Chains A and B, each alone.
Chain A
Amino acid sequence: MVKLLGAAIVIISGGILGFYRASRERKRLEQGIELKRLLYLLQGEIRYGLTPLPDAIGTIAGKMNAEFSVFLSDVSKKLSSYQEETFSQVWKSSVEKDLIPYVLEKKMLEPLITMGDTIGYLDKDMQVKTIDFTIEQIEERMYQIKDQVIKNCKLYQSLGLSFGLLVVIILL
């Protein structure tokens, strides 16, 4: 009886481990979607409200999930302090501090950092196009990893269960 209970616990643990790894894989894509949402919101603030960046970023911070919200609030606070020299410096340092440790697909952050170098400059159309271009690059990266993510999800789920079974068989 105890053996059976132990075996069940090992199999279930293996399964949970597999599901956990699979959910992390899915998060790579979900974070990409969240990043796109952030950029669309920013684009809307600029296109329809002509809102200056510190206010626009501060406003959308309240509409994002906790991790992205921390990043945006940090940027908005730094910009409003008038202590930093350029937008690009503020943006880059905050991406490095707040997003790199959190976002799993680091390559998606590269276009985001580059966007910081050109945004705020020239007219409204330029901002809209710059954000569109960043979204395109993030979408491209998402497209590249999509198949891999689906494959890995299935793999981790079945591997987790198989690993649990294997341990049980060996131990029995």
Chain B
Amino acid sequence: MENTSEIYHILPKSVRGLMQKSGLKPRELQEIRLRIHQPVIVRYENKEYFLSTAGKLTTSHHFVHVLTREELKQMMEYISNYSLYAYEDQLRQGFLTVKGGHRVGIAGKVSIEDGEIKTMKHITFLNIRVAHEVIGCAEGIFEHCTKDGQLLPVLIISPPGRGKTTLLRDMIRMASDGGETVGVVDERSEIAASYMGVPQNKVGIRTDVMDGCPKSEGIMMLVRSMAPNVIAVDEIGKKEDVDAMLYSAYCGCTLMATIHGKDMEELKKVPYVGEMIERKVFKRYVVLSEQGKAGTVKEILDEEGVRLYG
């Protein structure tokens, strides 16, 4: 992702001007946080800065750009394409995906009806998470997840924010371009980052994406309708997710999934997922490191827990 124009487009005009003036390197831009009556905070090169009124990143609290209600309102118009109604479901989940695959987290006043979230009004806190697609990041790992040229079921284990979705995405791309028909259930639009049904990230030429769909239902739908060889999902954990994955595995699909965790031993104690490990549903476990650069692989294990890499 070398282009930040999609992010700059959704910023209020005043902030957009300042950001453009700042001349930031798109690759290093990670996050922009906008809160009502508070300074604009930019996370850049792993550090936090304020946006100054002169269009520079600063650590000083003086002469910083403070966000007004009008600017936030303008921003919501841009994010939602002047059409909040089109994003009702996403609003309920607390985020919107914009062109380019960037995620905008939202917070504000929540309306409840019959005990369920109806919508969010008075959106006053926004967090733009810049999508960074790392094409080729799975290249050294992919070969360890195959046997005689056949892709094996893989579970990527990683602490939050360590690059498991980025790795999964690239593995999907490699499997798909390599000849497998991949079905992706992208519940939180993080894998393909689809915008109006069109994947914004490279997920391969043989990939079908069920966007914004609950994992359990999406897996069943894909298995029935798209005949995938591989089923890929992000952040598994619930019983129904595990049941649907087992169902697809029995239907002959190879699974690719990610889960929050530290290592295989810890996951054995987690309900449902532990059972999948016991039943040797996955044949490879890619464990990401807690330290170092995001995406660093700590080890790759087989179904018996034997270390193959790292």
> A: which residues have CB within 8 A of B?
46, 50-56, 79, 82-83, 85-87, 120-124, 126-127
With A52-B81, A53-B81, A54-B81 already in contact, the answer to whether A82 and B86 are too (CB < 8 A) is no
> B: which residues have CB within 8 A of A?
9-10, 13, 74, 77-78, 80-86, 88, 119, 196
A122 CA / B87 CA spacing, docked (Å): 10
Return the contact of B85 from the options A54, A86, A123 (Cβ within 8 A): A123
Hey, which chain B residues are within 8 Å of A55, CB to CB? 81, 196
- With CB as the reference atom, state the residue of chain B lying closest to A46: B85
Question: How far apart are B305's CB and chain A's nearest CB, in angstroms?
Answer: 47
- With CB as the reference atom, state the residue of chain A lying closest to B82: A87
Let me know if B74 and A123 touch, CB within 8 A.
no
Return the contact of A82 from the options B9, B83, B196 (Cβ within 8 A): B9
14 contacts between A and B (CB under 8 A): A53-B81, A53-B83, A54-B82, A54-B83, A79-B81, A82-B9, A85-B13, A85-B74, A85-B77, A86-B82, A120-B80, A120-B85, A123-B88, A127-B85
A55 CA / B114 CA spacing, docked (Å): 33
A126 CA / B86 CA spacing, docked (Å): 12
Let me know if B9 and A123 touch, CB within 8 A.
no
* Chain B facing A: main interface SS: helix
Let me know if B10 and A52 touch, CB within 8 A.
no
Question: How far apart are A125's CB and chain B's nearest CB, in angstroms?
Answer: 8
- With CB as the reference atom, state the residue of chain B lying closest to A125: B85
Hey, which chain B residues are within 8 Å of A127, CB to CB? 85
Q: How many interface contacts (CB-CB < 8 Å) are there between A and B?
A: 52
Question: How far apart are B47's CB and chain A's nearest CB, in angstroms?
Answer: 28
Let me know if B85 and A79 touch, CB within 8 A.
no
A51 CA / B85 CA spacing, docked (Å): 9
Known: A56-B83, A120-B80, A122-B85. 6 other contacts (CB 8 A): A52-B82, A55-B81, A85-B13, A120-B82, A123-B84, A127-B85
Question: How far apart are A49's CB and chain B's nearest CB, in angstroms?
Answer: 9
Return the contact of B82 from the options A50, A53, A126 (Cβ within 8 A): A53
Let me know if A50 and B85 touch, CB within 8 A.
yes
Question: How far apart are B116's CB and chain A's nearest CB, in angstroms?
Answer: 14
- With CB as the reference atom, state the residue of chain A lying closest to B16: A82
* Among all A-B residue pairs, the 3 with the closest Cβ atoms: A52-B81, A52-B83, A87-B82
Hey, which chain B residues are within 8 Å of A53, CB to CB? 81-83
A83 CA / B77 CA spacing, docked (Å): 11
Let me know if B85 and A124 touch, CB within 8 A.
yes
Hey, which chain A residues are within 8 Å of B9, CB to CB? 82
A163 CA / B107 CA spacing, docked (Å): 71
Question: How far apart are A119's CB and chain B's nearest CB, in angstroms?
Answer: 8
- With CB as the reference atom, state the residue of chain B lying closest to A79: B82
- With CB as the reference atom, state the residue of chain B lying closest to A82: B9
Question: How far apart are B153's CB and chain A's nearest CB, in angstroms?
Answer: 36
Hey, which chain B residues are within 8 Å of A50, CB to CB? 85-86, 88
- With CB as the reference atom, state the residue of chain B lying closest to A56: B83
Q: Which of B10, B84, B86, B88 is the most central at the interface, judged by chain A CB atoms within 10 Å of its CB?
A: B86
With A85-B74, A87-B77 already in contact, the answer to whether A120 and B10 are too (CB < 8 A) is no
Return the contact of B80 from the options A52, A82, A85, A86 (Cβ within 8 A): A52
Hey, which chain B residues are within 8 Å of A126, CB to CB? 85
Q: Which of B13, B74, B80, B81 is the most central at the interface, judged by chain A CB atoms within 10 Å of its CB?
A: B81
A8 CA / B13 CA spacing, docked (Å): 66
A83 CA / B12 CA spacing, docked (Å): 10
Return the contact of A121 from the options B74, B78, B84, B196 (Cβ within 8 A): B84
A50 CA / B86 CA spacing, docked (Å): 5
A83 CA / B84 CA spacing, docked (Å): 18
Hey, which chain A residues are within 8 Å of B88, CB to CB? 50, 123-124
Hey, which chain B residues are within 8 Å of A54, CB to CB? 81-83
Question: How far apart are A90's CB and chain B's nearest CB, in angstroms?
Answer: 8
Hey, which chain A residues are within 8 Å of B13, CB to CB? 83, 85
